[in-house]
Amino acid sequence: MNNREYQKMSADARRSVSRRYGFRQSSYINFKVEDGYFFCLYFGADEVRLTVKPMYADDLLTMWDYIMCHPKAKSL
């Protein structure tokens, strides 16, 4: 098996597993949004890295609603 065949087999396996768990694919990452969190899988030459981040827009809107409803909180 040459390098090109190995890369294709690796990419096919990555796509298959990612789809099974609901991830969408960009050019070099797989991502999904679930329960207000952004999950992102980065694939390197010999590693896979998962990052999880909250969806900041929802957090900011919640804070904005709290500040508007509680006048004393405006000094935060």
pLDDT of residue 25: 78
Residues 14-43 have pLDDT tens digits of 888 888 888 887 767 888 888 878 888 887
- Alpha-carbon gap, residue 30 to 42, rounded angstroms: 7
Full-model pTM? 0.54
pLDDT of residue 71: 59
In this structure, how many other beta carbons lie within 10 angstroms of the beta carbon of residue 13? 10
- Confidence check: pLDDT of 76 > 50: no
- Alpha-carbon gap, residue 66 to 72, rounded angstroms: 10
Tracing tokens 């789809």 back to the chain, one arrives at 19
- Alpha-carbon gap, residue 48 to 11, rounded angstroms: 13
In this structure, how many other beta carbons lie within 10 angstroms of the beta carbon of residue 30? 22
